[in-house]
Amino acid sequence: MNYILEGLRQAVMLLVKWDPETYAAIRATLTVTSYSMCASLLLGIPAGFALGYFDFRGKRVLRTMVDTCLAFPTVLIGLLVYAFLSRRGPLGSLNLLFSLSAIAIGQTILALPIIMSLTATAVESLDRRLRLTLLSLGARGHKLLFTTLWEARHALLIAAITAYGRVLTEVGISMMVGGNIKWHTRTITTAIALETGKGNFGLGIALGIVLMLIALIVNLSVMSLRKKS
């Protein structure tokens, strides 16, 4: 137990003294998760609405594919992104490999099916009379979209926090396409894995505490939004 208590003491000291290495990993994590969540929400919510609201040929197959992607291994996503962004890949000329942008791309791919699937489920769960009511009132296009999504807002918040939790804690994508470069692409999760393996237990605990605090803040924010709406 002594080494655990000593690790906790070191963790508190690192956070209180604003250790540069610790906060570099925190900044990298907040940056890539913000980018990836913005992209996945902008793409996933309209796509999920279309998947849940409209009936079209191949809908069942597409829904099955989206739901299957919910269990997409992060290392496989990392492998695919690496293949596309490497020098020999089709997007190699962009020089994005081993950058925060590459991590954000991978995390967007990870979060997108979660947003799409849960949004589609939320839209399908709404009262069917809502659509007829909106159409009878003359709602079309973006008005129909926004009104329907507003009615499903609580489920959309759950979709967002579920996706954020998956993105925040992933390791495989960050390690493979980010390279775990110190001061540059090292995120909280990759730093925990690396430093714990090196025996630097204090830094690992410090970053773990920050990870839990971020998750807590996000959950409290969502709860506050739900109460206000």
d(CA 203, CA 69): 34
Contact assessment for residue 208 and residue 14, using Cβ atoms and an 8 Å cutoff: no
At 103 the pLDDT is 96
Q: What is the mean pLDDT of residues 42-68?
A: 92
**Residues 168-213: pLDDT tens digits?**
989 999 999 999 888 899 999 998 888 888 877 777 888 888 888 8
**Predicted structure pTM score:** 0.88
Give me the sign of the Cα torsion angle 189, 71, 123, 141: positive
At 63 the pLDDT is 93
Q: What is the mean pLDDT of residues 2-25?
A: 78
Domain 2-228 grouped into CATH 1.10.3720.10: yes
What average pLDDT does the chain have?
86
Q: What is the mean pLDDT of residues 1-29?
A: 79
| Model confidence at 79: pLDDT above 90 | yes
Decide: residue 64, CB within 10 A, 0-12 exposed, 13-18 middle, 19+ buried. exposed
Query: DSSP string of 142-178?
Result: HHHHHHHHHHTHHHHHHHHHHHHHHHHH--HHHHHHH
Q: Which of 69-78, 195-204, 216-225 has the highest mean pLDDT?
A: 69-78
Rounded percentage of the chain residues whose pLDDT exceeds 70: 89
At 108 the pLDDT is 96
- Residue 53 corresponds to which tokens in the numbers above? 């609201």
At 21 the pLDDT is 85
**Residues 107-129: pLDDT tens digits?**
999 999 999 999 999 988 877 76
